[in-house]
Amino acid sequence: MQDDDGVGLATTLIPAETARRKRPGAAPVPRLPVEPTVQDLRFAGQLALWSLRQGLALLKGDSDTRHLIEEAFAVAEVPRALAPLEAFLRIVAAGALRPVELRSPLVVALGHDEAVILRALAACQAGEPGLAGAVLGALLPPSAARAAAAALAHVGAAFALQGLRLADADDGRLSALEAVFAQGAISARVH
């Protein structure tokens, strides 16, 4: 699927074509003025992003996608991250305030929602579950954001056990994403 800019997209809630249409009462999917790229992330961030982008197929029960993620997580020695990743995706799919944009695994640039999720995961790894819940508040109502943060905390713990840290700062910040959070409505809640 592609949007108006030719960027491959998927959403956790509805098809990409529907996500781009104006729906009464629905907030639009935010766009970033400058989009960080996959190469700007550490390996842990790249692996997390790739697995999140596989999420729609995973939620639909695609056994090939499940096997692909299982294999990648086995190679990275984080097999225990799959179940909480699925739980996180189910929470987002069931409770999102608006369509959540997860791009195709082949797209190089990160979207706003992907940056939010990665920042929340990094906050969990830094021992900041409250911050993770606040960051996820851009996508989910408060109770769902707390539940999603709890699921991400398990993903983050599995990654951390193998030395896979998303953040490049002790406070859980990802320098590649700082420009995203320095601007916009969620900056006050993130810093």
3-state secondary structure 80-138: HHHHHHHHHHHHHHHHCCCCCEEECCCCCECCHHHHHHHHHHHHHHCCCHHHHHHHHCC
- Measured in whole angstroms, the distance separating CA 39 from the mean position of its chain's CA atoms is 16
- pLDDT for 56 equals 86
> Per the confidence metrics, is the pTM higher than 0.95?
no
Rounded to 5°, angle at Cα 26 from 45 and 58? 40
Closest CA to 18 of 96, 99, 89, 94: 99
Of residues 99 and 179, the one with the higher pLDDT is 99
pLDDT beyond 70 at 54: yes
Q: Which residues are 11's β-sheet partners? A: 101
Mean pLDDT of 149-157: 97
Residue 166 pLDDT > 70:
yes
pLDDT band at 125 (very low <50, low <70, confident <90, very high): very high
User: Which pLDDT score is estimated for 186?
Assistant: 45
